[in-house]
Amino acid sequence: MSISRRSILTKIPIALASTNVLKAVGVFEKVESIPHATHFGPFIAKVQNGVIKDIIPKRAIITLP
């Protein structure tokens, strides 16, 4: 079987569509926002399936003069 440019170009849209479907799987999973505080300051952790996906820092509530 010979691989031609035409056969590659006809299969590219199929390959791209399949990767988009795989990316959409994570959209329906639940993401929890868990507030937490450390000596670095308060933050909110975005957790998905027990894995931290994002950290959002919060400004300090009490500011020193």
Q: What is the pLDDT of residues 20-50, one digit of tens each?
A: 555 666 667 788 999 998 898 889 999 998 8
Domain-located, residue 19: yes
Backbone angles phi, psi at 61, to 5 degrees: -75, -40
What are phi and psi for residue 31, nearest 5 degrees?
Answer: -115, 120
Helix (H) or strand (E) holding 7: helix 5-24
Query: pLDDT tier at 9 (50, 70, 90 boundaries)?
Result: confident
Q: Please state the pTM of the whole predicted model.
A: 0.47
Domain annotation covers residue 63? no
Is 16 part of any domain? yes
Mean pLDDT estimate for the chain: 78
Domain total of the chain: 1
Residue 42 within any structural domain of the chain? yes
Whether 30 is in a domain gets the answer yes
Name the strand (E) or helix (H) holding 34. strand 31-38
- Note whether 46 and 56 are within 8 A (CB): yes
* More confident position, 60 or 1: 1
Specify if 11 maps to a domain. Answer: yes
Range of the domain at 31: 5-57
Q: Is residue 46 part of a domain?
A: yes
